[in-house]
Structure 1
C-alpha cells in the first residue's frame, strides 16, 4: 500500500507570496515616480521659450512678482510690441506689491500702451480668454506671453485652447534654485493644471 503525500500550503508560502506582491508594488511605484520625474523635468524644468520676434502685444501672466512685469515692459521698450497687457488677479496687495503694480500700470508712454486687467476667472484660462477678446477687438495676430519657465507648457496649451492667435512663449529670465521637495510640488501642480485644462477646455 502506497503512502499518500499531502502538500500543505503553510504560513511561510503565504508570507513569501505577500512579500513578492509588496516588492512588485514598490517597484511599480518607483518606476512610476521615475517616469513622472523625468517627464516633469522635460516639461517644466527645461526652458521652452520661443525665439523672440515682433508681435502685436505682450501679455504678462500673473502668479509672482518676480520681475516679469518689468521684463514685459523691457521687451516693449526694445520694440517687440507697443501694447503690454499685465494680469493683475491678486488683491488686496501688500504695500510693496501695491507700489510695484501702481508703477507698472502707470508705465504707458507716447509709444507704449500698458493695460492692467483682472482676469475672470483669475487663472491662466481667464488670462487667455481676455487676450483673445482684446485680439479680436484690435485685430492682433500674435502675442508674446511671459510667465514662469515651468509654466510655459501649460500656458501654451491653454492659450492654444482659448486663442487662435500666434503665441510666442517667453520665460521670465531668472534662476530657479529649488529643493527636490519644492520641484515635486511644482510638478504635481503643473500636472494637475494640465489635467484641469484638458477637462475644462476654454469654457467659462
Structure 2
C-alpha cells in the first residue's frame, strides 16, 4: 500500500511545482510588461537641442507641440512616416523651427537614421523623443544607436483600444531591435 501512496504524492508535488513555476513566469512577464511597455521611465530635461515626434498611433502631436510651446528646444522634428500622425506639417510655433520628414524606411529605425544625420549636421547633443509608452524603451534604444548624444523620451497617450495590439507588437519590435537589427 505504501508503494501506491508515494507516486501520488510525487505527482501532486510535481503539479504544484509546475503550477508555481508557470505562475511565477506569468507574474514576471506581467511585471516586465508593466515596467517596459506600460509605465516606462520618463524624464525630460528643461532644455534639449531638438524635439522629435515619431509617427504612429496615439496623441503625439499635442505633446510635441506643448514641449515646443514651452521652448524646451529650438527645433521640432516631425516624422510623417508610415502611420504618420494624420496631418500635414503642423503650424509653426513662434521661436521654434519645424522640420517635417518622411523616413526611409518608414519605421523607428528610419526615423532614427534621419534624425541622427540631422543631429550630426547641426551638432545636436540632446533630443526629446515623443513616442507612446509601448514604443518609449525601443525608441530610446534605436535612437541611442544612431545618435551620440542624450536621448530623453516624453510619452503621449495611447487610445485604450490600441493597447491590446500594442503590447504584443511592442514586445516583438523590442526583441527585434535588441537582438536582430543592432546597427543604426
TM-score (norm 1): 0.73
Q: For 1:83 and 1:69, how far apart are their aligned partners in 2? A: 14
Unmatched 5+ stretches in structure 2: none
Residue number in structure 1 paired with 2:49 = 56
Kindly state the Cα deviation for residue 61 of structure 1 after the two structures are TM-superposed. 0.9
Kindly state the Cα deviation for residue 125 of structure 1 after the two structures are TM-superposed. 1.5
Unmatched 5+ stretches in structure 1: 1-8
CA offsets per residue over residues 3-55 of structure 1, 9 Å max, x none?
xxxxxx99x99888777655544433222111110121122222421133211
Kindly state the Cα deviation for residue 135 of structure 1 after the two structures are TM-superposed. 0.2
Kindly state the Cα deviation for residue 177 of structure 1 after the two structures are TM-superposed. 4.7
TM-score (norm 2): 0.80
Residue number in structure 2 paired with 1:107 = 91
- In our comparison, the structure showing a higher alpha carbon Rg is 1
Q: For 1:67 and 1:188, how far apart are their aligned partners in 2? A: 20
Kindly state the Cα deviation for residue 81 of structure 1 after the two structures are TM-superposed. 1.3
Kindly state the Cα deviation for residue 108 of structure 1 after the two structures are TM-superposed. 2.6
CA offsets per residue over residues 64-107 of structure 1, 9 Å max, x none?
1x33113212211221112111111136x8xx93xxx12xx151
Residue number in structure 1 paired with 2:75 = 83
Q: For 1:38 and 1:28, how far apart are their aligned partners in 2? A: 15
RMSD: 3.1
Contact 1:72–1:146 (8 Å) recurs in 2: yes
The question of 1:71 aligning with 2:63 is answered yes
Counterpart of 1:52 in 2: which secondary structure?
coil
Counting matched residue pairs gives 182
Residue number in structure 1 paired with 2:100 = 116
**Alpha carbons of structure 1 residues 113 and 145: separation in structure 2 relative to 1, 3 Å:** same
